Structure 1
Amino acid sequence: MDFCALDFETATHERNSACELGICIVQDSKIVETKTWLIKPPSFPYFSRFNVDVHGIVPDDVKNSPTFDEIWYEVEEMMYGTLMIAHNAGFDAGVLRGCLNHYGMFTPKLEYLCSIQLAKKSWNYLPKYGLKHLAEYHQIKFNHHRAGDDAEVCAKISLLAFEKLFLTSNEEVSKYMKLKIKKL
């Protein structure tokens, strides 16, 4: 099983306002690397109070950080050729598209899957499927709403779900989750 779990935090409601990105790389069903970048968003120095209340990242934290276009090639290289998984993937895919569009960058041919959909197939008896709730259910401690931690927990939950569903390869995931896998 090879995939990357991804999570964005944003500065505003705008889809191009990524202020933090976390990626967790899984190879052969093992987490091999988690990396986080603070990002200076196009809205800098403006950050929505609502967003800051969620993740705690303020303009001062990113004032010396690179912009999305300055980190994208490293990010793309880490993600190359793998399935992208995110918790509430529509949001994260939208932020990725928004950032790429804002900087006039090519959108890669990438398939993605939402770990919420995966969790619902794996534990259809749970009352909630938020990342925090799933982490508590599986006794995984993390710093919620920080991109690297969220990406790593997403990867761990996805691995547990694949195990529960007896899915052992990317091909099996593609067949089983066919209607849930989207294209960027």
Structure 2
Amino acid sequence: MDFCALDFETATHERSSACEMGVCIVQDSKIVETKTWLIKPPSFPYFNPYNIDIHGITPDDVKHAPTFDEIWYEVEEMMYGTLMIAHNASFDAGVLRGCLDHYGMFTPKLNYLCSIQLAKKSWNYLPRYGLKHLAEYHQIEFKHHRAGDDAEACAKISLLAFEKLFLLSNEEVHESMKLKIKKL
């Protein structure tokens, strides 16, 4: 099983306002690397106070950080050719598209899957499917609303879901989840 889990935190309601990005790389069903980047968003120095309340990232934290276009090529290389998984993937895919559009960058051909859909198929008896609740259910400790931690928790939950569904390869995931896999 090879995939990357992705998570964004944003500075404002704008999809292009990524202020932190986390990527967790899974190869052969093992987490091999998790990387986090603070990002100076286009809205800098403005951050919506509501967003700061959620993730705790402030303008001061990103004042010397690179912009999205300065890190994207490194991120794209890490993600190349793999399935992208995100918790509430429509949000993270929207932020990725928003950032790429803002900087006039090419959108890669990338398939993505929402780990909420995967969790609902795996544990259809749970009352809630938020990342925090699933992590608690599986006794996964992480710092919620920090991109690297969220991406790694998403990867761990996805691996557990694949195991529960007896999905052992990317081909089996594509076959089992074909209606849920979207294209960026």
Is the TM value for this pair above 0.5? yes
1:86 is displaced (CA, Å) by 0.0
Aligned identity (percent) is 88
CA displacement 1:41-76 (0-9 Å, x = unmatched): 000000001100000000000000000000000000
Whether 1:12 aligns to 2:12 is yes
The amino acid that maps onto 1:35 is K
How many equivalent pairs are there?
184
CA distance in 1, matches of 2:164, 2:48: 39
Whether 1:105 aligns to 2:105 is yes
Whether 1:182 aligns to 2:173 is no
CA distance in 2, matches of 1:32, 1:104: 31
The amino acid that maps onto 2:94 is G
- Map 1:1-184 to 2 at 5 A: 1-184=1-184
- SS of aligned partner of 1:180: coil
1:150 is displaced (CA, Å) by 0.1
CA distance in 1, matches of 2:173, 2:144: 27
Q: Give unpaired runs (5+ residues) of structure 2.
A: none
The amino acid that maps onto 2:159 is L
Q: Give unpaired runs (5+ residues) of structure 1.
A: none
CA distance in 2, matches of 1:179, 1:48: 36
CA distance in 2, matches of 1:140, 1:73: 30
Structure 1 runs of 4+ aligned residues shifted over 4 Å read: none
TM-score of the pair, normalised by structure 1: 1.00
CA distance in 2, matches of 1:27, 1:142: 21
CA distance in 1, matches of 2:180, 2:49: 33
After superposition, the CA RMSD in angstroms is 0.2
CA distance in 2, matches of 1:179, 1:47: 36
1:133 is displaced (CA, Å) by 0.1
1:77 is displaced (CA, Å) by 0.1
1:116 is displaced (CA, Å) by 0.1
The amino acid that maps onto 1:160 is L
- SS of aligned partner of 2:154: helix
- SS of aligned partner of 1:179: coil
The amino acid that maps onto 1:102 is H
CA displacement 1:133-161 (0-9 Å, x = unmatched): 00000001110000000000000000000
